[in-house]
Amino acid sequence: MTTNAQAFSRAVLAWFDEYGRKHLPWQQQISSYRVWISEIMLQQTQVSTVIPYFERFMQRFPAVEQLAAADEDEVLHLWTGLGYYARARNLHKAAKQIVSAGEFPKGQNALEQLPGIGRSTAGAISAIAQGERAAILDGNVKRVLCRYQAIDGWPGQTSVTKQLWQLAEQCTPDQRFADYTQAMMDLGATLCTRSKPQCERCPLQQDCIAHRGGTQTEYPNRKPASQKPLRHTRMLMLVNEQGNVLLHKRPPTGIWGGLWSLPELNADTDPVEHAALHWQLQINEAEIWQNFVHTFSHYQLQITPLKSLLARPAHSIMEQGSWLWYNMQHPQELGLAAPVKKLLQRLSDQLQIGYRPRPLTITQEFSMSRTVHCLKLNKDAPGLALPPYPGAKGQWIFDNICEEAWKQWQDHQTRLINEKQLSMMNPDDRKYLTGQMDKFFSGEEFDQAEGYVPEQK
């Protein structure tokens, strides 16, 4: 280490001894596991925000074995509100790898092999919990070093990042590197802040080039400006007769990966037709709520919420795989996308958990009294109030199948779904059920099933 670097680290450590934070939750009972969790949570997130999340996480998962054994939904549920959910998914994956290996990796290079752990996070774990000298370069440290040396260029550029890593390595002392690591993060978080830095209290002010030139707020240089594109989506809040809302689990990659969200529709998709065609659900016309914008790191998403109620009770089982009816009165422990969580709260407040199916109109009441000659039962009987779904097939059923026969099919369809573990969201399963329905009503031989049919209350 050069003399200047030694002076740098001595000044930082002297300041830390007198003013540094030493009572944060992750500074107690220090272990590789606790430091790892805190470092991941602190990425892009302030200490004051992280503290309650960290404490809840540690209470539920006090050791890596408990985290590895947990369901991903539970992990994401505890992460809801922290954002950047790939961090939580990577934590879960890494925990499984650690348990499978039989021990927590030792050393910066070994730690970097785990999902979601980069060079700086590995350095923090090594230095703070494992007694290995290692440099770190998180956002706080980048800001301190950029100002201290007046380093030009956006820190995200490869050449600037390389320069900052060289400086970070030079300044890291050979002793007390655990305290030094915490001190550098503290210095950037409490004094050398992004706006209104408290230079008069900084232990590095005498040799800080940016401070001497009065240009400290110009460093680090900002990322070259670019306008974020605006994308659009519509989120359907579909409420059933119990007041529960239909949710689906998003794919593991992409935005909100692995989280539960509301079904999304394109601008030209009719919600009523979509529900009938894809879910075999009869819903009322959707109420359009005021749209709002949710901002991601690379684009903005304009969300238009749609609220609709089931027009008829759902006889098909929706809770298959990546779909469920979310109980707002007794919420399941699921990871929810931030805007979805807000919409569900607003919807819950509006419904007051007192949903009842929308009353039939006079036209619908009249139509219920209609009689058809039922081809399935070969008798005249009360017909359906409405076609079960749009299109020619729905109209044929409306004209030729009575309500009693339709109810028999719905019960049989439920048995098939439960016995064969089908999903109404799977195109192949829907095709199979449509074929079975055709055989059921035409008198052809159809597949039998003894699956459970829930009691209709």
Q: 348-394, pLDDT tens digit by residue?
A: 877 754 333 343 333 333 334 578 888 888 888 888 876 776 567 77
116/182 same-domain check = yes
Question: The tokens of 372 are what?
Answer: 């058809």
Whether 421 has a pLDDT exceeding 80, the answer reads no
Domain's final residue, options 160, 195, 218: 218
Contact 89, 258 (CB under 8 A): yes
Count how many domains the chain has.
3
> For the chain, what is the mean pLDDT?
86
Q: What's the gap between Cα 125 and its chain centre? A: 26
320/396 same-domain check = no
DSSP run (H or E) holding 68: helix 64-69
Give me the pLDDT at residue 367, please.
39
Contact 13, 185 (CB under 8 A): no
**Average pLDDT rounded to a whole number, residues 262-283:** 89
Residue 356 lies in a domain: no
CA-based nearest residue to 287, from 254, 238, 326? 238
Whether 457 has a pLDDT exceeding 50, the answer reads no
Residue 169's CATH number: 1.10.340.30
User: What is the C-alpha separation between 304 and 283, in angstroms, rounded?
Assistant: 18
Residue 177 lies in a domain: yes
Domain that holds residue 138: 3-218
Residue 397 lies in a domain: yes
Residue 359 lies in a domain: no
173 HSE (CA, 13 A, CB side): 21
213/300 same-domain check = no
Q: Which residues contact 331 (CB under 8 A, 6 or more apart)?
A: none
Q: 325-341, pLDDT tens digit by residue?
A: 888 888 888 889 889 98
CA-based nearest residue to 184, from 105, 115, 128, 130? 128
199/244 same-domain check = no
Q: Which residues contact 55 (CB under 8 A, 6 or more apart)?
A: 25
Give me the pLDDT at residue 357, please.
38
Q: 54-80, pLDDT tens digit by residue?
A: 999 999 999 999 999 999 889 999 998
Domain's final residue, options 190, 218, 246: 218
Give me the pLDDT at residue 278, please.
84
CA-based nearest residue to 81, from 342, 440, 445, 278? 342
Contact 447, 345 (CB under 8 A): no
- Reply yes or no on whether 39 is catalytic: yes
397/438 same-domain check = yes
Lowest mean pLDDT among 83-92, 242-251, 386-395: 386-395
Q: Which of 18, 39, 169, 319 is catalytic?
A: 39
126/196 same-domain check = yes
Whether 102 has a pLDDT exceeding 90, the answer reads yes
**Backbone φ, ψ for residue 265 (5° rounding):** -125, 145
Instruction: Write down how long the chain is.
Output: 457
Residue 387 lies in a domain: yes
168/284 same-domain check = no
Collapsed DSSP state (helix, strand, coil) of residue 245 = strand
Contact 283, 310 (CB under 8 A): yes
Lowest mean pLDDT among 166-170, 207-211, 282-286: 282-286
Residue 415 lies in a domain: yes
Higher pLDDT, 113 or 299: 113
Residue percentage of the chain with pLDDT more than 90 = 51
289/264 same-domain check = yes
User: What is the C-alpha separation between 238 and 262, in angstroms, rounded?
Assistant: 9
8/87 same-domain check = yes
**Average pLDDT rounded to a whole number, residues 239-247:** 88
330/405 same-domain check = no
77/160 same-domain check = yes
User: What is the C-alpha separation between 353 and 255, in angstroms, rounded?
Assistant: 30
Q: What's the gap between Cα 347 and its chain centre? A: 19
10/144 same-domain check = yes
Contact 168, 138 (CB under 8 A): no
Domain's final residue, options 321, 351, 381: 351
Residue 104 lies in a domain: yes
Residue 191 lies in a domain: yes
Q: Is the peptide bond before 359 cis (omega within 30 degrees of 0)?
A: no
Whether 168 has a pLDDT exceeding 50, the answer reads yes
Query: Looking at the whole model, is its pTM more than 0.75?
Result: no
In sequence order, what are the beta bridge partners of 287?
Answer: 307
Residue 421's CATH number: 1.10.3880.10
Residue 330's CATH number: 3.90.79.10
**Average pLDDT rounded to a whole number, residues 17-27:** 94
Give me the pLDDT at residue 276, please.
87
**Average pLDDT rounded to a whole number, residues 410-427:** 74
